[in-house]
A and B are shown apart, each in its own frame.
Chain A
Amino acid sequence: MKVVGARLPRYDGIGHVTGRTRYVDDVRVPGMLWAKALRSPVDHAGIRVDTSAAARIRGVHAVVTHEDVPRNVYGHLEALGIPGDEPLFAEDVVRYKGQPIALVAAEDEDLAAEAVEAIRVDYDERPALFDIRKAADTDAPKVHHWGNWYPHFEGEMDRRQIRKGDVDRAFDQADVIVSGVYRPAAIEHCPIEPQTGLAVPEPDGRLTIYSVTQALYFSMGVVAAHLEWPLNKLKFVGGTVGGGFGGKVDTAADTPAALAALKSGRPVKWRWTREEELLCSSTRAPWHMEIADAVTSDGWILGRRMLTLHDSGAYARFSPYGLTKHSFHHTGAYTIPNLHFDGYVVFTNRVPTTAMRGFGVTGLSFATELHVSRIANVLGIDPFELRLKNANRIGDTSPNRIALPDPSTVPTILDIADALGHELPAEYRTMTRDRRDGELLPEHLVAQLASTEEAH
């Protein structure tokens, strides 16, 4: 009986349709406290915090600030050589509206919220930067202790670079140069299940954390790093998440709940409100992309110059990784042999941006595909034909010179043409993804071609 390829209902489907699937918020633990956060109401300020009034309120069992965190600064991607830059709780400065300053654990949510109001914070406001295009202006406000853009790419470079072939020659040989600017927006992951973390101290000194994370071990590592604990003192329980889309990797609720649980000695649940989700949770990044393509009048894309500014918000999070992935794919599904790409991870005083479905490439696909549609329009060429001609084929190489073993661009485009009933001339109708030759191998594509050995 073949199982792979079968249209089987979900393994956990019965639980879903009977309301029995257990999400973090459904876990019941006796003696549980509820948590609420104090968050910055301003975009950029020096701060001084006094939690004493909150701690004195009857029914409040813990107030946690940066002072309670053994290692307050963390970096999500330190394992990849990206240094830590972000405090779990703000110490003496806040860099975005919504940045957490303290967490209160109390008998119920209303009491926790009341205690949050009682925390006294003095804000010494500073100028804020929001427009990534202006981050390099000499009078730009300074957002980050590293400067206004990320400076720690390999070789301590301050940008991600791709260079391939001879882009100046390509622009010289072009019949037309088409340039445009593309700006997709920040959007919310907006899973129906909000960020929720439940930390339970165990009798043996361990801490069990019920987490909505998309990555149990990754989040366990983040919490362990903050607490300076070995991994086996933590037990992460989860694996059943009410939607993530990339927004539940940041480990937003787990460490603060853990610290409050340790300080109070009681289980603590921190469940974000929808307001917090929509106002303070990390978002998909806004991107700013400027593309200039050197093209021939018969529709070959000879070369591409591209500048990308990625809006990372106030901290780095996963942005250097996202920009790197973006740079590796900046030609989209086409073989463009001459490339000049520069990309910057730019800091602004907004909520840090993070991974979201398609990280690094979603906004890129919008930009490069719309740009190709524009080229077709400017040249007066059928948009299917322009794409089919330049489409990746077996043996073509990527921006970083990796041979493509089996791209399906040509078949998928032909299938869409079919579905639309779009007539194509015979030579396009019969195109395949096979290695380029003849008319599909003009001089400018010869040098980028991988050897037949390399393409496997």
Chain B
Amino acid sequence: MHLIVNGVEREVDSAPLTPLLHVLREELGITSPKAGCQQGGCGSCTVLVGGEPRRSCLLAVATCEGFEVTTVEGLGTPERLAPLQAAFHEQYGAQCGFCTPGMLMASHALLERTPSPSRRDIESALAGHLCRCTGYVKIIAAVEAAARGDVASDQREPSLADADPSEPDVLIPGSPA
């Protein structure tokens, strides 16, 4: 069978009931979608199938024939980040990074259909995505920043000049240092 992955037609030899996640990771070498639970519970395997966010761990590859499959690799590159990717980077929306591909795909799909999402919209879109590191605060901030167009640059690494050193909220003077 054939899949169109990130705009490129790929031939697939795996059996029809093989989960799309396994086909992408093991057969096609596309490793951004993660095997976090393989129960559909964590969202880290999320890719877009026909533009819709789907749990690739639960999707038999045969059902994707003829559909465009999009993964994080298709969103942008280190040399040319998508605004959403730059926003996640600048807003510190990724700590260990393992849930990030799934978060990015679900957020991307949200912004495509709802360019100015409310906080509620963002929460609903990411409701089934688990993150154990960030506490979600900066993930939401990243999506909001991307929606606002509040992204410093699409180039690799914002320059140091943008990272102004901040003063602490409270400094206790005279302490040993």
Q: Which residues of A contact B (CB under 8 A)?
A: 1-10, 12-23, 25-26, 28, 189-194, 241-243, 245, 271, 273-275, 405-406, 408, 411, 415, 456
A17 in contact with B96 (CB, 8 Å): no
Chain A residues in 8 Å Cβ range of B85: 17-18
Chain B residues in 8 Å Cβ range of A21: 97
B92 located at the interface, meaning its Cβ lies under 8 Å from any Cβ of chain A in the complex: yes
B98 in contact with A14 (CB, 8 Å): no
How far, in whole Å, are A175 and B17 apart by their CA atoms in the complex? Answer: 72
Chain A residues in 8 Å Cβ range of B78: 14-15, 18, 20
Interface size class of B (residues with CB under 8 A): 35 or more
> Assuming A1-B160, A28-B29, is B176 touching A191 (CB within 8 A)?
no
A6 in contact with B163 (CB, 8 Å): yes
- Chain A nearest Cβ from B173, distance in angstroms: 12
Q: Which residue, A7, A16, A21, A242, has most C-beta atoms of chain B within 10 A?
A: A16
A406 in contact with B176 (CB, 8 Å): yes
B96 in contact with A242 (CB, 8 Å): yes
Chain B residues in 8 Å Cβ range of A191: 96, 98, 132
Q: Interface residues of A: mostly helix, strand, loop or mixed?
A: loop
> Assuming A192-B96, A192-B98, A192-B130, is B163 touching A14 (CB within 8 A)?
no
A15 in contact with B38 (CB, 8 Å): no
A406 in contact with B97 (CB, 8 Å): no
- Chain B nearest Cβ from A204, distance in angstroms: 27
> Assuming A18-B72, A415-B170, is B98 touching A243 (CB within 8 A)?
yes
- Chain B nearest Cβ from A298, distance in angstroms: 29
Q: Which residue, A1, A13, A15, A22, has most C-beta atoms of chain B within 10 A?
A: A13
A8 in contact with B163 (CB, 8 Å): yes
How far, in whole Å, are A243 and B34 apart by their CA atoms in the complex? Answer: 13
- Chain A nearest Cβ from B16, distance in angstroms: 15
Q: Which residue, B100, B133, B166, has most C-beta atoms of chain A within 10 A?
A: B100
A23 in contact with B170 (CB, 8 Å): no
B37 in contact with A274 (CB, 8 Å): yes
How far, in whole Å, are A241 and B96 apart by their CA atoms in the complex? Answer: 7
- Chain B nearest Cβ from A214, distance in angstroms: 11
- Pick the contact of A245: B25, B97, B98, B132 (CB < 8 A): B132
A-B pairs, 9 with minimum CB distance? A19-B32, A242-B98, A16-B97, A19-B72, A274-B37, A16-B94, A26-B31, A17-B85, A5-B165
B98 in contact with A6 (CB, 8 Å): no
Could you list 13 A-B pairs, sorted by A, with CB under 8 Å? A6-B165, A9-B89, A14-B78, A18-B76, A18-B78, A19-B31, A21-B97, A25-B31, A192-B42, A194-B37, A242-B98, A274-B39, A275-B39
How far, in whole Å, are A323 and B88 apart by their CA atoms in the complex? Answer: 40
Q: Interface residues of B: mostly helix, strand, loop or mixed?
A: loop
- Chain B nearest Cβ from A409, distance in angstroms: 12
Residue of A nearest to B105 (CB): A19
Residue of B nearest to A190 (CB): B132
A10 in contact with B98 (CB, 8 Å): no
Chain A residues in 8 Å Cβ range of B95: 10
- Pick the contact of B166: A5, A25, A245, A406 (CB < 8 A): A5
How far, in whole Å, are A271 and B21 apart by their CA atoms in the complex? Answer: 15
Chain A residues in 8 Å Cβ range of B77: 18
Interface positions of B from 69 to 124, Cβ below 8 Å from A? 71-73, 75-78, 81, 85-86, 88-90, 92-101, 104
Chain B residues in 8 Å Cβ range of A192: 34, 36, 42, 44, 96, 98-99, 130-132
How far, in whole Å, are A22 and B31 apart by their CA atoms in the complex? Answer: 8
How far, in whole Å, are A415 and B172 apart by their CA atoms in the complex? Answer: 13
How far, in whole Å, are A274 and B29 apart by their CA atoms in the complex? Answer: 22
A25 in contact with B35 (CB, 8 Å): yes
How far, in whole Å, are A194 and B72 apart by their CA atoms in the complex? Answer: 21
B38 in contact with A274 (CB, 8 Å): yes
How far, in whole Å, are A243 and B132 apart by their CA atoms in the complex? Answer: 7
Chain B residues in 8 Å Cβ range of A271: 35
Interface positions of B from 115 to 168, Cβ below 8 Å from A? 130-133, 156-158, 160, 163-166
Residue of B nearest to A9 (CB): B89
Chain A residues in 8 Å Cβ range of B96: 191-193, 241-243
A274 in contact with B41 (CB, 8 Å): yes
Extra contacts, 8 of them, besides A3-B160, A19-B31 (Cβ < 8 A), are A7-B163, A13-B92, A14-B78, A16-B100, A17-B72, A17-B81, A18-B81, A22-B31
Q: Which residue, A9, A26, A456, has most C-beta atoms of chain B within 10 A?
A: A9
How far, in whole Å, are A179 and B132 apart by their CA atoms in the complex? Answer: 35
Chain A residues in 8 Å Cβ range of B81: 14, 17-18
